[in-house]
Amino acid sequence: MPQTDYKQAFHRLLGYTKQYKPALVAAILGMIGYASIDVTFIAMIEPFVEEGLINGNTDIFRMAPVVIISIFVIRGFCNFLTTYFLNWVGTNIVLTLRQQLFERFIGLPVSYHDQTSAGTLISKITFDTEQIQLASSKAMIVLIREGAIVCGLLGYMFYKSWKLSLIFLIITPFIAFVVSYVTKRFRKISQSIQSSMGDVTECTEQTIRGHKVILGFGGQDIENARFAQINNTNRQQKMKMESTRAISVSVIQIIASFALATVIYLASVPGILDTISPGAFVSIVMAMMMLLRPIKQLTTVNSEFQRGMAACISVFNIIDQKVEQDEGTLKPKDIKGEVILKDVCFTYPTKEEPIFNNLDLTIGAGQTVAFVGQSGSGKSTISNLLPRFYNIDSGSITIDGIDTREFDLKTLRKQFAVVTQQVILFNDTIANNITYGYEGEVSQQRLEEVAKQSHMMEFVDGLPEGLNTLVGENGAMMSGGQRQRIAIARALLRDAPILILDEATSALDTKSEKSIQSALDELQKNRTCIVIAHRLSTIENADKIVVIEAGKIVEQGTHQELLANKGPYDLLYQMQFGAGE
């Protein structure tokens, strides 16, 4: 990333601290107090040497224990003040960033999620935000506190002897060069670490999600080898970071040691010690030795700070993504459900060839229209265009004569109830999964009513907790048929004017399908139904069957009409039922 991006990210991160100014001020005062104590301790060396050792004043040694204990008590308090408040600010910043990230994840359009892996996004909300906290707490503590110690010690050294202290400034350009070089390298490696962590999270997430497939196909060795490679790449990047940090610290300390050695050597030059007292000389040497630790800390923390800044850019890039555009304002009520597609053209963002070119279709209110065709023909795309999960390139889609782009998005999507082959359930109770997203209170009577209509009570009555039974992660505790019935109950409760059934029974066995079909028949009453079917036996009673091939409607009509035409539908029917062999 360009240097300006890092500066912008840093200034933007500072903007998050504005509401925590009192805590930040307390932390900074604690850091300055901590640094002042260390400098004060060095300044006390001179009177101890001059009065105690040279002049033999023993009273100063009697006072020393009280002074030393008092100094370290104050130092400990300042350290607590700094650590507590800066970490409090840091955790609150991470809290805000994570919330903003999460809200942005939900608000981003479907097309963005199509192009970005879930593992990468999870890594940003877990790993990247933790790096930001390190930069905004631990790194800031070191940068400010140790920076203040360096400034204080240098100021004290120049106050006592600017000639001797000037030697230390000679090495500053060399230290600056090393810091500048490693900073650039830290930035580059930090970006690689974040990318590799995204790969680790993505691989882990895919493996957990596809656990049964891996076991079923004996893919353990394949996945182990894949993860080992990704994991090792992450290790290599971290080792590059640590080796760069270790080398830079060693080089800077060696450079600083030349200045310290030079000062000590000058003590042998005649006339040098005549201009400075022994106590002052010892305190200067001690100050130089103490400078090595904060310089090491500042160099070490630079890697964490740069990693945090790289994480900031990564997080801000997501936060700055445009959310799903909602320019519609209409919130019509009493929708009947007439759907008309006119001259619709659409191309998926990830593809170059359009899926639809000038598609025309009319679905009457209350009609059941089924879409059939080969996989990839565009059947499911229609169900994604109606609720505007994707925006069409040109043409129009209207509901009751109103262009869907004029609808308020939330209002538009309330007009649809969707039951798909892949039912998404949350790790919650059956009841809460049924009422998910429903606005307002749902009475127990109404809940049991939709459960009966969806034929759920056949298995719910046998559960110890009934409707309050937990379904597990994505419904893992439920069978395929049970998950489908929960989805049907959810759609029944929503009572939307338009129902979309996207191969809702294709993954079920014949017995489960017949049981589910009766629940679907109940669901389809008094509403417009769009059925995307794989099994033609489930759509024989549809008002209209639309056959799609390569994004084009090749024929449409009732089941009997299409069989009589001896066209593509008849061919599909004969292939499925084997009558034409």
Residue 579 has pLDDT above 50, yes or no: no
pLDDT of 100: 92
Q: Indicate if 305 and 396 belong to the same structural domain.
A: no
334 domain residue, yes or no: no
Burial of 456 (0-12, 13-18, 19+ CB in 10 A): buried
Question: In CATH, what number is assigned to the domain containing residue 570?
Answer: 3.40.50.300
The better pLDDT of the pair 87, 340 is held by: 340
pLDDT of 508: 58
Secondary structure of 28-89 as H, E, C letters: HHHHHHHHHHHHHHHHCHHHHHHHHHHCCCCHHHHHHHHHHHHHHHHHHHHHHHHHHHHHHH
Quote the CA–CA distance of 359 and 532 in Å, as a whole number.
Answer: 17
pLDDT of 344: 92
User: Long-range contacts: 61-64, Cβ < 8 Å, 24+?
Assistant: none
pLDDT of 3: 45
pLDDT of 2: 42
When pLDDT is averaged across residues 349-372 and rounded to a whole number, the result is: 89
Q: Indicate if 60 and 200 belong to the same structural domain.
A: yes
pLDDT of 156: 81
pLDDT of 509: 58
331 domain residue, yes or no: no
Crossing angle of helices 129-136 and 3-15, in 10° steps, is 80
pLDDT of 121: 85
When pLDDT is averaged across residues 212-227 and rounded to a whole number, the result is: 78
Q: Indicate if 218 and 272 belong to the same structural domain.
A: yes
Pairing of strands 552-557, 544-549: antiparallel
CA-wise closest residue to 90 among 24, 34, 32? 24
When pLDDT is averaged across residues 135-158 and rounded to a whole number, the result is: 80
The better pLDDT of the pair 361, 246 is held by: 361
The better pLDDT of the pair 4, 117 is held by: 117
Residue 4 has pLDDT above 50, yes or no: no
Please write the tens of the pLDDT for every residue from 22-70. Answer: 998 898 888 888 888 888 878 777 777 766 666 666 777 677 778 788 8
Indicate the residue among 290, 319, 348 that finishes a domain: 319
Q: Indicate if 310 and 343 belong to the same structural domain.
A: no
Q: Indicate if 379 and 281 belong to the same structural domain.
A: no
Q: Indicate if 52 and 143 belong to the same structural domain.
A: yes
473 domain residue, yes or no: yes
Q: Residue 268: pLDDT band by 50, 70, 90 thresholds?
A: low
Q: Residue 403: pLDDT band by 50, 70, 90 thresholds?
A: very high
Q: Indicate if 284 and 397 belong to the same structural domain.
A: no
Please write the tens of the pLDDT for every residue from 315-329. Answer: 999 999 988 888 888
326 domain residue, yes or no: no
Quote the CA–CA distance of 486 and 488 in Å, as a whole number.
Answer: 5
Indicate the residue among 291, 319, 347 that finishes a domain: 319
Q: Residue 581: pLDDT band by 50, 70, 90 thresholds?
A: very low
As given in the structure block, the two tokens for residue 174 are 């060399």
Please write the tens of the pLDDT for every residue from 524-551. Answer: 788 899 988 877 877 888 889 999 988 8
pLDDT of 349: 84
Q: How many domains does the chain divide into?
A: 2
Q: Indicate if 278 and 190 belong to the same structural domain.
A: yes
Quote the CA–CA distance of 149 and 168 in Å, as a whole number.
Answer: 15
pLDDT of 69: 86
Quote the CA–CA distance of 520 and 505 in Å, as a whole number.
Answer: 10
When pLDDT is averaged across residues 410-429 and rounded to a whole number, the result is: 86
453 domain residue, yes or no: yes
Q: DSSP labels for 256-268?
A: HHHHHHHHHHHTT
68 domain residue, yes or no: yes
- What is the dihedral sign for C-alpha 384, 385, 388, 391? positive
As given in the structure block, the two tokens for residue 136 are 């905004």
pLDDT of 459: 86
Least confident window among 43-57, 84-98, 324-338, 445-459: 43-57
Burial call 491-519: b when 16+ CB within 10 Å, e when fewer:
bbbbebbbbbbbbbbebbeeebbebbbeb
Please write the tens of the pLDDT for every residue from 367-398. Answer: 999 998 887 788 888 888 999 989 999 999 99
pLDDT of 270: 63
pLDDT of 212: 62
When pLDDT is averaged across residues 241-268 and rounded to a whole number, the result is: 75
- What is the dihedral sign for C-alpha 390, 396, 399, 403? positive
Question: Percent of the chain, pLDDT > 90?
Answer: 10
Q: Indicate if 70 and 214 belong to the same structural domain.
A: yes
Tell me the residue range of the domain where 347 lies: 339-577
What length is written for the chain? 581
Indicate the residue among 319, 351, 382 that finishes a domain: 319
When pLDDT is averaged across residues 294-307 and rounded to a whole number, the result is: 75
Residue 1 has pLDDT above 60, yes or no: no
pLDDT of 396: 93
Q: Indicate if 146 and 251 belong to the same structural domain.
A: yes
Question: In CATH, what number is assigned to the domain containing residue 87?
Answer: 1.20.1560.10
Least confident window among 139-153, 269-283, 410-424, 524-538: 269-283
Quote the CA–CA distance of 99 and 117 in Å, as a whole number.
Answer: 19
pLDDT of 528: 92
Distances (CA, A) of 223 to 196, 208, 215, 457: 16, 11, 11, 41
Q: Indicate if 293 and 173 belong to the same structural domain.
A: yes
Q: DSSP labels for 279-318?
A: HHHHHHHHHHHHHHHHHHHHHHHHHHHHHHHHHHHHHHHH
- What is the dihedral sign for C-alpha 536, 538, 540, 542? negative
Least confident window among 295-299, 480-484, 538-542: 295-299
333 domain residue, yes or no: no
Q: Residue 418: pLDDT band by 50, 70, 90 thresholds?
A: confident
Question: Do 136 and 93 form a contact (C-beta atoms < 8 A)?
Answer: yes
Quote the CA–CA distance of 173 and 353 in Å, as a whole number.
Answer: 58
As given in the structure block, the two tokens for residue 31 are 């850091």
Residue 128 has pLDDT above 90, yes or no: no
Residue 272 has pLDDT above 70, yes or no: no
The better pLDDT of the pair 515, 6 is held by: 6
Question: Do 547 and 556 form a contact (C-beta atoms < 8 A)?
Answer: yes
DSSP H helix total and E strand total for the chain: 22, 10
As given in the structure block, the two tokens for residue 484 are 């489908």
496 domain residue, yes or no: yes
What average pLDDT is seen over the chain? 82
Q: Indicate if 312 and 344 belong to the same structural domain.
A: no
